[in-house]
Amino acid sequence: MLEGVDRLIDLVGPRVSGLSGASDTDVLAAVGRCDAAALRATDGHFAMTARDGRTVRLARTIGFPLRYFVAKLYHGPFLVVAERMDRIFAWCREQRIVWQFDPAYTRMVPAHYIVELDQVGCPDPAPRYHRFFDPAVGRGSADLDEAGAGYIAAAQAAVMRWLGSVPLEEPVAVAFSGGVDSTSVLLMAIHANVRLGGRPDRIRAFTLDLGGGSDAAQAERVVRELGLEAQWERVAASPADVDLEAAIRVIEDYHPLDVECAATSLCLLRGIRERYPELTYLLDGDGGDENLKSYPLEDSDLTLSSILRNPLLYQEGWGVDAIKHSLAYSGGLSRGYVRTYAPAATLGFEAFSPYTTRSVIAAAVAIPFEQILGGDASRLSTLKQEVVAAGVKATLGVDMPVNRKRRFQDGAGAAPRERVSKAWCRRTFNTLWQDRQKDAESIERRSGNEMVGA
């Protein structure tokens, strides 16, 4: 392997959002020296890549995807880092080594880990994982009022930090369905904006209406009850605008529920963008279901025991050492948050959800679910509503309207009568990449053994 060749290609650079406890420079330095304790003392979101000699370290939280690929050039490995597969593919195409690329060969950095890779030549390096988020499990109060107060207080602090980093003159959109999570985020944003001295109309809620859903009517009832009609807009679109293939292209994934969600999100965000071309900042409530385990178990192979014995299952999947862990995608919301991040980024928004920050996840994990549920899985269908409503009342002094949980795509009217299958999503994903790779076949190949400057 040739010495003196820069073998780290970082196509995305450091990113932060709502960061607290350290500066972005401090976080980058902590990643570079593999200082998990320093990262543990921070909150908010970041994605960083740093090099220490021949060792490259990468770390991220849920809010930012971070992906890498090992290419071969000049007798050795090049580590290419980006937020998306297609950016890595484009770099390989420019270098005439697209024949080396396969989406399955890319790797997603799992949220809440530092990943170490040694660039020492062939064979490919094996990653080492160092965890920097270890919340205490089940040590909080079983009283729902107290649990809710702690949970929403943490979320309110996260909204305050994030909104405080947004220029005061900039408007902020809230993706709003009238459900528990989006209503609580809207109220927290309005409360934080008042404290920061922002103009009253700075925070605006937007609800997608595809004609056949119930979210628009629900959202209108909620804003009327809260006296916020002047800060709410209905975004009408046609069900024909819901493009599942485009969503797969945007999120680069094939999980059906995430594909449906992303396709619906693209409709909403396109509508907002058409009305407000300069609007940049976006709040949503993604992660609220995961934190309070508000998913019907009958829709999956999960049991009550599996979600209680794996307290971060919904946020991180089964864990980096598990058989079910996907190297290409990570797991849980660490994988799934791309349904929010990618549509927003594609349309020029910077998205943030307080429910994905570590302080808020820690407040949720502290709730003693096993004691509260008492073995009754059906209790999960109402627990989130009770916890969040109690927390909003304690923290903001507002009696929040509470509606039953619906998936975003269902409430907007986007989901088909029969859900799209994973097999169809996977075939579409594969076809997309086959077409790209076929298109690149005519490019002259460059050997990994080619000398520098040849």
DSSP string, 398-452: ----------HHHHHT-S-SSPPPHHHHHHHHHHHHHHHHHHTTTSPP--TTPPT
Residue 401: Cβ-neighbour burial (10 angstroms; 0-12, 13-18, 19+): middle
pLDDT at 77: 86
d(CA 202, CA 224): 18
Question: 452 pLDDT band (50/70/90 cuts)?
Answer: low
> pTM for the complete prediction?
0.95
Range in 52-61, 235-244, 355-364, 443-452 with the lowest mean pLDDT: 443-452
Domains of the chain and any CATH numbers? 8-133 (3.60.20.10), 144-430 (3.40.50.620)
**CA angle centred on 264, ends 258 and 270, rounded to 5°:** 130
> What's the whole-number mean pLDDT along residues 268-295?
97
Measured CA to CA in angstroms, residue 220 lies from 171, 180, 288, 411 at distances of 21, 14, 21, 13
d(CA 144, CA 148): 6
- Whether pLDDT at 84 is above 60: yes
pLDDT at 430: 97
> What's the whole-number mean pLDDT along residues 65-77?
90
- Whether pLDDT at 3 is above 60: no
The residue type of 77 is P
Mean pLDDT score across all residues of the chain: 93
pLDDT in tens, 426-435: 999 999 999 9
> What's the whole-number mean pLDDT along residues 381-397?
96
Token readout for 90 is 């484009």
- Whether pLDDT at 454 is above 60: no
